Structures are given as C-alpha cells and as structure tokens.
A and B are shown apart, each in its own frame.
Chain A
C-alpha cells in the first residue's frame, strides 16, 4: 500500500476473517487523520512525517513538534531581558547593602579564600529561580498515586526561606509522578510481599555485589528481568543514574566512538564523558543526521591516525522525558545493522509504559529484542521501586559482572525494593494469575491518547509522539512558569513545570505524566482546570486545532489486535 498524500498513515489489508490486523484500521479514524494532517501540513508548522522505509513501521508514527510562534518567542526574550535587567539592579543594590542580603554567605574566617562560586554562575539561581522557587521541591507526605497529599509551605521573604504552616493539602491530583502503571501504592500484593521480605532480610545490604552483598533475591530478580525483556541475561543495580554512568565506561573506552542523541539524559552524557571515548552528537531523532555521522565514522576513521574505530556505540533513549518523543527504533536498528555499530537503548521511561505487553519500545514497534545490544532501563518509573538494570547477551552480562564499577564498588539493591520489583514485574507479565497487568497497560494507553487529543483540541502546543505517556505542554514565558504551577496547585492539581537549564531557554514547559491509576473522571477534572488556566494565562498558542471527534472519546482499538 503506498502512503497517501499526507504520508503519515497507511492501511493494512483487513484479514480474511474480518478482524483488524495490527490495529491500523480504525473505522473512519485513519482517513480523517490523514486529511487533517494534510491540511495541517499545508498550514504553517513542522509536522514530522515518518518515512516509510520499506514498511519498517507497522503502526503509524505520529510525532509533532510545532514551531514556536514568532510573537511568543519575541515576548519570551523580552521577558527574560527584563528579568535580567532587574537581576543586575538587585545585585547592585545588594552589593552596596541598600537591600538586605538573604542568601547564605561565606564564613568570616574564609573571606579571603578564592570564592567558591563565580558570581555569574549563581545569577540565574539568585534572580530568576528564586522568584518561582515555590513550584519545586514541594514536600509530599503520602504515597504518590493518582492523588497525593502536599505539605503546605509559606514564604514571607519572597521564597528565600519557607515555613510549614502545618496544613496538608489533601487529595491533590498528581500529574507529575512517574507512576505509569500505578504501582505506587501502599496496599496490595506488592506491599505485603515487600513487608514480608523486610522482616526476613532487613533493609541494608552493606556490601557490594562482588564481595558479600549478592543475595539470592538478586539472582531471582535478574532471571525475571531477563525473561521479561526477552534477552539472555540481565543484571540489576542500585540506582538508575549510576547504571548509566558506571557501565558505559566499562563497555567503551579510548579509541571508541559514541554517537549520542542531542537530548540524551545527564546520566548518559556523564557515562559517555567518563568513558574517555570520542563523542559525536546527532540531531534529535533525526535519522539522516545519524546516518551521516555513521558514514563519516566508517570512511574517515579516528581523527588523526585514520585507523578504524574500535567500537561504535549509538546511545538513544526509548522515550525522551522532556520532549515526549519516541525513538525511531526500526530505522536505528536498520542503520546499526548496515554500518555494524552497537546500540545502547535507555528505556528509563518506556519500559512498562509502551507496547501491548508493556515490554517497552521494542515491543511497541514489534521488533526483536536480540537486535538491541544493550537494553538498559530503570525500575523507578513503571515498577514503583528504585534501581536500574542492563539486559543483553550472556557474554555481555558476564563481562559486566566482573568489570562494572557498580558491581565492585557500589552497594547492591535493598531486599524489600527487590521484592517490590519482582512482584510488580510478575503482575505485568500476568504471572501472578490476575489480569491486572494487562488492564493497567490498556488503561495507560487509553489515557494517553485521550489526554493528548483533548489538549490538542483545546489548542495547546503539545510536543511529542501520540503514544507517549509523557505530555509536555509549552509555556514559553518565564512568568507563566510560576503562574501555571501556582494556579494549578490552587485548583488542587499538582504539576511539574520545567525551565532553563533542563530545557532550551525559550522553551519552558509543563510536563504531565499520565498514569494507569488515573480514571477518566480524574482526567476530565484535570482537563477542565487546565482549560480554565489556559484561558486565564493565554496559553493556547497552537495555530492548528484538531477537529474534535464527535464519536467515542477513547481509541479502544489501539491495543485490541488479535494475534494472527
């Protein structure tokens, strides 16, 4: 089937017995999307269309990053300019002691030491971050499920210091926790199992994996992770961040080349730097850029000696948490096979959240897990625990057991945490005898599609792929960051707002993380409030609105494919 003029969806023939094949055919929806997309493409804005590449994609890949409207960009720069001017003014006043200086200062005895911080380094912190600091580090005092309790804080000196009023804001709708499958609970089978293991094994391990901290629970966990991912073996570590920063140096070293995506997470960047290999960056999710880099690497070799690179490692993430985009895995794997490079896939956000059986981005695209050389992920997001893992071939894991920095120097996972992971993973796989796992995955997929569609209909600019449960809503202006956070909290909804330096300076956003624990009522309440606040703060920048669907609001056919 050749792609239509919009080029972003295509139909597969319906099977002989009349059932749908692979979920593309969705009654009238496919055609209307193609028409709307064609109309949108004709209007302004960049809507990325997937290149068909010989049918690598079995499902339509809808990813969009609408361009910033010019007026908004100009106003944002003006806003930052005004803030900077005021920042300089305040610094001047503080220096000449006209204004009281609230922040901590160096000890008197150490005044003649070289100053610990350069003045400009903290300019942003002092003058911009401090003004809206109450939107971050909010202490919560309950389990971060669909609703959460937040401790109320007040500040009488413009956020330099906070006092707890003693009140607790109860039942705040939680749109900020990475609780994709709703395992952040304090009741249920996971919690009971973890409590039992706590009584048996205690909390601390007090040793490293190689010395005396290798429990039978760890071995059980690793076997389970390997079978969950569909790989030969796996190894678990105590912290997700540390998994990347300690294992990439064990895998590559000097004389190797790392090709890393522009928007990779800090842990991947740190691991790549610590390894000592050469790092080259390709544009975000841009396969042409990656191919060009690969070609240059193979043709030109190492920079001065022109010898071939010892290893070429491509670092990508499953879901990029700031953009909400999904990696173009089929194309990456095709390129990797063509140029004989290795692939390191960081599935921190996508494991458990994508795919019909929750096995992550490999499952979502229907690919073979053996094609990915190193599958890394974390247990923090979908499994409600903490820690990370690496999965792959047995030789790779055996090598990592002896050479990983974490196995030799860092403590192993705590036993109750391991039990939580084991129970939740068994639940997702359906091994505990219930269909709770499958239901959660379905619910998450429905929630994602519904939420994204409604927000787009309202006219907000939403980045990222349609299937990603991370939904960034663009705010742009610095004042709106603070205003959005505070207004939403007043309406009893907790959101996470992100600004510089986690995002580019004019693209600040609010990031919603959907969860299987969110019911339709919760989502509707949240959407209503977001609508109100959007009107209040004039956040509806989008220039092309989707035609609102008059039929069913849920796309239930997403994962209802029957296996052929």
Chain B
C-alpha cells in the first residue's frame, strides 16, 4: 500500500471495530455515512463518541453537518480545541456497492480539519491500477488519508484484517487496539496465505482490469430484468439486486428473493441474500440479493448466470 506502517489483526470484523475506539473517545465527534457496515457501527458504539450520520454519499449533507459543528465550536472554543473530529467512510460500500467521492472528502477534510478513516474491505484488491484501492483509483496521495483499514477476507481470501497509514497513527494501536492487545494473533498458515496472495497481486497487475471488465459485463447483462433493479457501481464486484417495487412488507420481500435464490441454486448458480440483523442495524438497507463476481469465472459462465437469473426472476415475479 506504500504506507509507513501496517498492523495486522486476526479477524476482519475486529479490525475496524477496534481501530475506531482506539482513537475516538467520549466527547469526540464522528461523521459517518448512513450505509456504513455493521463492524463500523459496533466500533462507533464501543467508542462512546458523538455520532453524526449523513446521507449516503451526499457531500452537501456532510458539509451542512460540518458547518453546524463549526458554529458550535465558535461558541465554545476551549472545548473545540480538544474535541477531535473524524469522518468514517468506506471505499466501496458493502451495503450498496457504490463508491465514495474521495476527492471532495479530502477537500472537506482540510477545510473543516477532520481526519478521514477509510474502510477498504471491498475496494482493496479491486480498484486502482495496482489494486491499491480507492486512493489509487482517484489518484489521491495516500498520506491524505489518516487510516486505511481493510479485511483480508475478500480479495486476499485469507482471514484477518489490517490497518495501514503513517507510523504516527498506526503505532498507537499496538497498545490501545483492543482486538490487537487482548486477542491471540493470526495463525501463521493464514498469514502465509495472505502474503502469497499479495505477491500474486504484485506480480500480475493485469488481473485488476480483467476483474473490472467482468464486473461491467455482468452488470450490463443483468440490467434488463423486469422486477429487479441493479444497485451498485458497474465496476464493483459485489452489487445488489433489489426488488423494483416492494410488496410492502419486508418479510414478503425476503420470501420472494429467497425463492429466486432457491430456484437459481437448483440450476447450479449459487447466490445469497444479503443478511442483516434487523433489530440492530442503524439504517436497515432494503432486502436484496448480493451478486459477487470472481476473476476466475469465464465469460460463458457469466452469460449463463445472467440468463438463469433473468429466467428465474421472470418466472417468480410474474
């Protein structure tokens, strides 16, 4: 990632859930996107900080909140001098498959003096010329982002997670990251698997563009299904299929989608519904089927998958 230092955790969920409370404590302010994943929500809950949600990917909303905070600060400058401010976003959101507008975020960061924590579980190994994530994709210097956290369970197909950034920021977690100090370390087998995966990524930088091609292809192929709409960027390897018109009750929607998944499974296409804990989520996303693409799937397979999903959807929904 071309950063000064990185720290490894033995579990992907625990990575961001331990990193956030290590820096943000009671009395600090965190601006977080509504569609943030559950691990981030738990990290925020553990940190006991003041949480301000802004609408998904809406920079105007975030700016409004930052301006309000600035007005508050001017009323109480002494308190403002010790309150830290953080913006927590994801590179590619797991819940919606969209990308965050990083250049505008960096501008907001310098104007309002907040630090950015970027969670790149989905975009690490996917975006950018060499797979270095959303910073490479937008061409932003990696030093502008204070902390990048990712889990190795998606692109690297291992277990665990890492945080990388400048030594000034990362070294603090060695004594105060709960998932680091109070937990067993990663088994060497899994670490070796991750190292090998990273070596493969460095040696074949061509696979990233191949992956993006395949994502675009299947994205296009699934566009025309009546009854289902595709949610997510065209180059995101994990996107969602949501019902175009919901039946009104979440349970009914879930049942319909499950039928589609079951029929697809009968025709040997493995799909899954995106699972959420309904009572625990801050902002519950609508029920959807998550479609994930691998670089190993051939074009014919992708075509067949798209066709099957189309047929099944038409059969079930009409």
Give chain A's interface residues, CB within 8 Å of chain B: 103-107, 109-110, 112-118, 122, 125, 129, 137, 178, 194, 198, 202-208, 210-212, 238-242, 245-246, 249, 265-267, 270, 273-274, 378, 380, 385-386, 403, 405-406, 408-411, 414, 416-417
Contacts and interface: CB of A to CB of B under 8 A. Distances in A.
Interface string B23-62: 1000000000000011100100110000000000000000
A451 to B, nearest CB: 23
24 contacts: A106-B168, A113-B114, A116-B84, A125-B175, A203-B158, A203-B159, A204-B158, A211-B272, A239-B10, A239-B13, A239-B14, A239-B183, A240-B183, A242-B11, A242-B14, A266-B182, A267-B182, A274-B42, A380-B184, A409-B37, A410-B39, A411-B11, A411-B153, A417-B189
Contact of A203 (B46, B110, B175, B190): B190
A343 B163 CA distance: 36
Given A105-B168, A107-B143, A107-B166, A210 B275 contact: yes
B157 interface: yes
Nearest to B270: A212
A178 B183 CA distance: 12
B23 to A, nearest CB: 6
Given A107-B143, A113-B113, A408-B277, A270 B178 contact: yes
Given A106-B168, A417-B187, A118 B82 contact: yes
Contacts of B200: none
B157 A203 contact: yes
B153 A204 contact: yes
Nearest to B186: A386
Contacts of A405: 38, 42, 277, 280
B39 to A, nearest CB: 7
B287 interface: no
B259 interface: no
B157 A204 contact: yes
B83 interface: yes
A409 B37 CA distance: 9
A241 B45 contact: no
A292 B248 CA distance: 51
Contacts of B183: 239-241, 267
Contact of A204 (B45, B115, B156): B156
Contact of A241 (B4, B151, B182): B182
Name which of A112, A178, A210 has the most chain B CB atoms within 10 A of its CB.
A210
Interface string B120-155: 000000000000000000000001000000010110
A210 B270 CA distance: 14
B82 A116 contact: no
Name which of A205, A242, A274 has the most chain B CB atoms within 10 A of its CB.
A242
A104 B168 contact: yes
Nearest to B157: A204
Contact of B184 (A113, A246, A249, A386): A386
Contacts of A116: 23, 84, 115, 168-169, 172
A206 B121 CA distance: 11
Contacts of B39: 409-410
B178 A266 contact: yes
Given A238-B159, A409-B13, A265 B272 contact: no
B193 interface: yes
Contact of B193 (A204, A206, A207, A266): A204
B8 to A, nearest CB: 12
Interface residues of B, number: 60
A338 B253 CA distance: 47
B12 A411 contact: yes
Nearest to A115: B84
Nearest to B152: A204
Nearest to B14: A242
Given A113-B114, A245-B14, A408-B276, 17 more contacts: A110-B115, A112-B113, A114-B81, A129-B175, A137-B174, A202-B157, A204-B193, A211-B290, A212-B270, A240-B184, A242-B11, A242-B13, A266-B181, A405-B277, A405-B280, A411-B12, A417-B190
Contact of A273 (B38, B46, B272, B274): B46
Nearest to B153: A411
B171 interface: yes
Name which of A204, A211, A246, A403 has the most chain B CB atoms within 10 A of its CB.
A204
Contact of B11 (A109, A266, A273, A410): A410
A106 B310 CA distance: 53
B314 interface: no
Given A105-B168, A116-B84, A206 B154 contact: yes
Contacts of A265: 182
Contacts of A409: 13, 37-39, 277
Nearest to A271: B46
Nearest to A203: B193
B97 interface: no
A202 B153 CA distance: 13
A10 B289 CA distance: 65
A213 to B, nearest CB: 9
Contacts of B263: none
Contact of A414 (B115, B159, B171, B172): B159
A386 B186 CA distance: 8
A534 B1 CA distance: 47
A118 B176 CA distance: 14
B179 interface: yes
Contacts of A211: 272-275, 290
B266 to A, nearest CB: 16
A315 B17 CA distance: 22
Nearest to A239: B11
A246 B276 CA distance: 14
A146 B42 CA distance: 38
Nearest to B113: A113
Contacts of B37: 409
B45 A114 contact: no
B3 interface: no
A559 B77 CA distance: 68
Name which of A115, A245, A406 has the most chain B CB atoms within 10 A of its CB.
A245
Contacts of A105: 168
B219 interface: no
B115 A113 contact: yes
